[in-house]
Structure 1
Amino acid sequence: MSLGIVILGVGRWGKHLVRNFANHPRVHLIAIVDPHQEQLAECRERLNLEENIILTESWYSIREHSSIDAVVIATPASTHYALILDALQLGYHVFTEKPLTLEPTECLELCQLAQQKQLQLFVDHTYLFNPAVEGGKKAIADGAIGNLRYGYASRTHLAPVRQDVDALWDLAIHDLGIFNYWLGQTPICVRAIGNVWLQPEGKMEFPAHEQNNQLPLSDLVWVTLTYPEGFQAQIHLCWCNPDKQRRLCAVGDRGTLIFDEMQPDSLLTLQHGTFKRENINFLPIDIITEKLPLDEYEPLGRVCDRFIESIQTQTPSPISSGWVGLELVKILDALTRSLQQGGENIFLD
């Protein structure tokens, strides 16, 4: 049985979603919605879409179409709450870009509504479906690096520079999600400090917390996460660094697990190594670099397929449900409060 789907938004990422859902064997793509007619025309031409797929600039012109089962939302995060709420109230399953919304209270409301109506609320945390991230989860579970000690990540580049949110909200959610997934835990305490260079007059466009919309737009943010068993992770986020990095590591007492997107031929590696003690000296031993074999598939294709599977089995995704999205927004909100308070530790429930 095919599911009728409408896609809202065909920007850079939305086009990839259209491609995947249009070619999914269990999907009937009903309509694509975008306020820019030229985007719709380009999408139809580039993806060679069937003529019976409706292209419209208004969600309200299509929202009560009798064949809709699910709505896919790839619009700016500030629009998510209203669109998701409307779709759930109409009885549709929802797939949304991350973050779920910009407010923890809104996220909770939407999760509870989806649960009450027995609808699937699915957040596109594509990294958690990446074969390297899935491989890292397995390696840690198998004890490949021994007892976990700490982690670190860098997500830097030169542009794009956002004018609505800072580097924290723009970049951090990926690494937060991966650390949580690898550890099977969420932080109990977070801390953030930042620097502003490019837009000292800029302000956040949303009040993620009462005073957060008064924050300037940090170009650099350092994040510290503390997990229940003592594991700490530090994340370096910056959008004005020409040294592009996409690297995340977990360190144990037997080695380091490295996920490096800038090394496409060795996305996931294990750096083995430990010490042998001789008198007062510690001598490195067993130093080996191991490239881990990975399955080959498009992560976004896997994400779209899991959404359809969640609907058809009425089973929320353990790694991409609305509840998972809520936890990540709660962490981002706490980090923003820490940033506002000059790097104070913020404890999470």
Structure 2
Amino acid sequence: MIYFDNSATTQVLPEVLSTYNAVSEKIWGNPSSLHAMGEQAFNLLEQSRKQIADLLHCNIDEIYFTSGGTEGDNWVVKGTAIEKRPYGRHIITSSVEHPAVLNSLHQLEKLGYDVTYLPVDENGRVSAEDLKTAIRKDTILVSIMAVNNEVGAIQPLKEIAAVLEDFPKIHFHVDAVQGVGKGIQELLEQDRVDFLTFSGHKFHAPRGIGFMYKKRGRMIAPLMSGGGQEKALRSGTENLPAIASMAKALRLTLENEEKKVAQQKAIKEKIYNHISKRSKVTVFSKLNDEFAPHILCFAISGVRGETIVHAFENYDIYISTTSACSSKKGITSGTLTAMKIPDNIATSAVRVSLDEKNTLAEADKFIEIFDVLYEKFKKINS
């Protein structure tokens, strides 16, 4: 079996699962309880928070636990809108954000907020100049993802941060879900970034756990009200086994990151160099530094994306259409549409997404099966 769908979810590492099970079995007190078992759980909770903070080179009180990227994105977008409502109702984002951001903004538009959706170029990247032009006196939030989950484009976060230096009261949120362990840590750790959102299952932690970085001094309204956990900003009994195992998964993912990134680049390049020579193939992801090392999006003209996915599945190779969130709904890629790719090509798009566990031998096998399928599709469409 070859698993090339890591942008959808990654396999939980054995060491991470071991931590999850151990905490579930041995440290099952409520971190909010006053007794010794509660204190033991609380200490592990804070140790996990500190480990994540140290790995991100930030302060321990800047890390907040969530259920994942979707909750994190919703929290920053809606929490900022609520908190800063007296100061403005204008928000700026890109036209290629994850649905967790876009659908949150659609909800806010119904409540009277005004949203500017920045266009992207042929590579799926926004322009810092467009952002500067879009900023108004009532702008309260800029939300731009780090790495596009469909084509792998890395947004110009440094340039965006430079623009926002002149607007210190505007919250700057970066959806970093696809950026962990992909060699862009320097982009994520810029001082002007106010909020970062992460999802554990994208880096070998269990599903249903994530975290948010909130810069000291930045105010945000809670969406989860209740017992006052996470400094009263995100109530609900903490999922300690998942939190502890996520902290471990993050540490393991960031170990030898440079070597792991080089491996993913080599696999992507090998597949890219082969399939891009085919006349009916359009490749949307590039090999340069403006694209992440782990995502390769392409289309085979005349063949629907879901057909390509199932054809590879017959050979025990797992890829996806452009987004796991929309793949079962038959929705055309929002990113490719924003990139002005014609519908007849966009509906043929599929995504290969890698992690450090993938190998060049798997790339060779993928190429072998690709050639078989390509010839088969060519005969059907001839």
State the TM-score, normalized to the length of structure 2. 0.31
Choose between structure 1 and 2 for higher RCO, CA contacts under 8 A separated by at least 6 residues.
2
User: Which of the pair is proportionally richer in strand?
Assistant: 1
